[in-house]
Structure 1
Amino acid sequence: MKSIRIYIFMLGMLMALAGCQTDFVKPLENDSEAPAPVRDVTYVKMPGSVLLTYTLPSDPDLLYVAASYTNKEGKKYEFKASYFTNTLLVEGFGDMDTYSLDVYAVDRSENYSAPVNIQVSADTPPVQAAYETLEVQPDFGGMTFSFANTSRADLTVYVSTPNEDNEMVNTETFYTGLPKATFSVRGYLDISRDFEIYFQDKWGNKSQVKKETLTPIYEAELDKKKFKEVILPGDFPCTFYESKMEYIWDGRAAADGDGQTGAHTGIEEHNGPTWFTFDLGVLAKLSRFNLKFVQDDKHFYNDVSPKVYEVWGCAELDKSGSWDSWIKLLHIENEKPSGLPGSELTEDDRLAAREGDNADFPLDAPRVRYIRIKCIDNWTGNSNMVFTEVTFWGDDKSETNN
């Protein structure tokens, strides 16, 4: 019986607490008298939105101002602004047509004033602006496209291309809020192919569909069996801690202690950058690059793993070691996703570090055969470097390679 009484008592307490919680979320004041409406409503056009300006009613009970409209699909949107301001941003317009907008003053009892109706039209929606600036061109193994997003809207970009049954299907989805963006789609043979691209914003507004027929540029992973070490005057040895240059093209992404880990230029500080040279074995127009770091926490965003480094190339080798004939192809900055200091790592950090750095070579870059990896700064603040594997893709079809 005692346990039953305790149970009933506890149940009663929970119900009382629940009642208190329900009362807490209700308006502190509860009257039925609506506030006076806002006055002098004007607006300024913005991309896909309008910025309202108005005069607030003189009502001590005023809580916020609301504005609502219904789009062409029948969906109603409502936007609110505190009584501390006299402006309200109304978003979500997918075109520049005229819409009927109702503006209300709302008090602490959630009483709405009589509406003030105005007719508004937005400036060019971000999805349309992105579509109008969209540029598409063939690229290695696919295509590259770029566009402007000057309003910094959150945009989703959908790319479609035919599947094996010749049906257009979405194959790539990209997200951006940057003022300018460039994306690449790869993995296709160098034969004519259809592509479709369109934009969508967070309100569900969609742009027109851009249709392009392009022939991807031939691309293949360069054969690492053809890579060879080159030692030029001024180059730095990369044989510290039982390392060898040839280990960075042996197809293994190794951790410390696995043996044949990679190339390592040591720990002694140098005045200026550190670099070494190797031969790709073919003259190639390079498309992509991947560098993998030593695969353990000790080297992820730490130790002498390269943080800021460059990839240089040349077609013919000057055996004096001079940089005169070399062209800078890439400048890469390795970034830690979490931004955490020192050796602290998240799983996202580890995933990104295992994947390594990926970079695209400029389309106008010349054909090269010889490569220099040049480290400007590592994660301990000097210019030494260690990494475990490097991979290049590109067009190695050249008459001089036959």
Structure 2
Amino acid sequence: MSSTTLNKTPLHDWHLQSGAFMTDFGGWHLPVRYQSDKQEHQAVREAVGLFDVSHMGELLVEGVSAADLLQYTTCNDISKISVGAARYNALTTPAGGAWDDLLVYRLAEERYLLVVNAANQDQDFNWLQEQNSQFGANLRNVGSDYALLALQGPLAVDVLESISDLPVRDLRYYHFLEGELLGCPVLLSRTGYTASDGFELYLSPQHAEAIWTKLLEGGASFGIEPCGLSARDSLRLEGGLHLYGHELGQDISLYEAGLGWIIKPEKGDFIGKEALLRSKENPQRKLVGFQMQEFGIPRHGFPILNQEEQTVGSVTSGLLSPTLNAPIGMAYVPTELSEISSTFLVQVRKRRLAAEVVRLPFYQISRST
């Protein structure tokens, strides 16, 4: 697909003018990097980085039956989300897989904002609309109403405080506030996809470049870097965070994916519940984190072999960790190879190299909020 036919964020021209290397990502023309993958990654780990993630999709669910629709179509407990809070969730398939993983923001008692993966936005909307025939909630695709910026890193709060009077330091993890930033209405949440502290800013596309520019200006003294998809991927992998199409999919049980903590069978009936409970009792495979014991960089799709050199799985994500300076990855393996310290082989091109199962996440910060 040529760049002229790809979707573009409101910051597309800024990225091009700044010399970003661009790529097709889920039908969007997005920046991979501006200068250096490692430099951008380290900025988020040690200082602060700014991402344009306006390709993400947004769906609005409103009305007296909004919660009922979401309780039935997702696995987490919608009733436990207070107004002003967000929760990680998944749209479940009848077979116990995921149509998508998403964030659910409770904007008001009967108003929810769903933030979904860009490539799945239309599919998610159509699936919810089909299920909504028995509920009658007000469902709208509002993706074109939002730009989304992610300010991530230990100094993100300092950058925001330098340009705003919003009470961002006291904002708790997975909570949000609504206010004005430089005169622009914004929903600001303490969330992110980088295994770091940080914030995500939802705002009108018409204000995106002004806010982006001001954040870069305000963050200059804090070492801010604009960051692309490559750093976002290495940061999320170090945090053991799932990527749809890699660690998640329609044919992957959420229990096998290690997401039992978002599955709440006690809440009542929901799509895929029975299939998920069967998977919990008899999992055939599990998602694990691993570190290479011999040097070689694992990549998505590389085969996993047991000690008898039989193919038993494949790498879902892998790279050379900038923080750990070691090759790491995630993979689905048979349950007998899923225990910590278990070993297997990874086919890295023509070599079969030893790897060891390690505890996820590879990297974790302590949170005071």
TM-score when normalising by structure 1: 0.22
* Larger RCO, structure (CA 8 Å, separation 6 or more): 2
More helix by share: 2
Which structure: larger Rg? 1
Q: Give the TM-score taking structure 2 as reference length.
A: 0.23
